[in-house]
Amino acid sequence: MLFACGNSFKDLLPIIIVVAFFQLVVLQQPLPNLFDISVGLIFVVVGLTFFIFGLELGLFSIGESMAQAFARKGSVMWLLVFSFCLGFGTTIAEPALTAVTSEAALVAAKGGMIADNTESMHRYAYSLKTTVAFSVGLALVVGVLRILKGWAIQHMIIGGYLLVVLLTFFAPREIIGIAYDSGGVTTSTITVPLVTALGVGLSSSIKGRSPMVDGFGLIAFASLLPMMFVMVFGMVVSL
């Protein structure tokens, strides 16, 4: 446990050095509330350590085992349904997405895009969050099909980003930044471990597939499709 905490502290050390350097050397000011910062840092190190343990013991294991079980079962339909539900469910649970959609609703209300009341902001945030979650679910379906069929990921990613660029010209200016950010917040603490485990577990169970070549890449689809769907969402809302 102490060894794991030491590793977590080493991971955080560059951030600590940067903050301390700019605070003490550039700004030439003492660190405010040094005791509170120290206690908070201890909590972060311990929390990060337990989080990594949890990933290794729980999320990675269950993701790989379920992917392998579906592969052995041989039912493509249920595998695709599971992939969609996994992507949708993990994205809905992402705290980062909740924060971004809530802030987007607040800014949209202040900018006059929607009515400036709680009900309209809640509806806007919920619709945006559901749109992103649906797109991630669909992204995992596409990614799983790629693993099953052996499609080249580079062609799909290049085509996808070309479509993102094309949609950027037609989407409302106010939604473009949110759309690009939505691609990032979907790949956070809950989604990434399960999605990675799904890809690696599935590719390990299928003859002729390599975990290194085919097992990774699902996260790329989970980042790509939300950008498209949110821009389309913006076009529909602006009508």
Q: For position 74, what pLDDT does the model report?
A: 67
Q: For position 208, what pLDDT does the model report?
A: 76
Mean pLDDT of the chain: 82
For residues 145 and 70, membership in a common domain is answered with no
* Euclidean distance between CA atoms 178 and 234, whole angstroms: 10
For residues 41 and 120, membership in a common domain is answered with no
Residues whose CB is less than 8 angstroms from the CB of residue 228 and which lie 6 or more positions away in sequence, other chains included: 135, 160, 163, 164, 167, 179
For residues 64 and 143, membership in a common domain is answered with no
For residues 59 and 80, membership in a common domain is answered with no
Number of domains in the chain: 2
- Given a cut of 70, the residues of the chain with pLDDT beneath it are 1-5, 8, 55-64, 70-71, 74, 189, 239
For residues 115 and 228, membership in a common domain is answered with yes
- Predicted confidence (pLDDT) per residue in 36-71, tens digit: 888 888 888 887 777 777 766 666 666 667 777 766
Q: Which domain holds residue 16?
A: 1-74
For residues 114 and 220, membership in a common domain is answered with yes
For residues 85 and 55, membership in a common domain is answered with no
For residues 180 and 92, membership in a common domain is answered with yes
For residues 35 and 126, membership in a common domain is answered with no
Q: For position 139, what pLDDT does the model report?
A: 92
For residues 35 and 151, membership in a common domain is answered with no
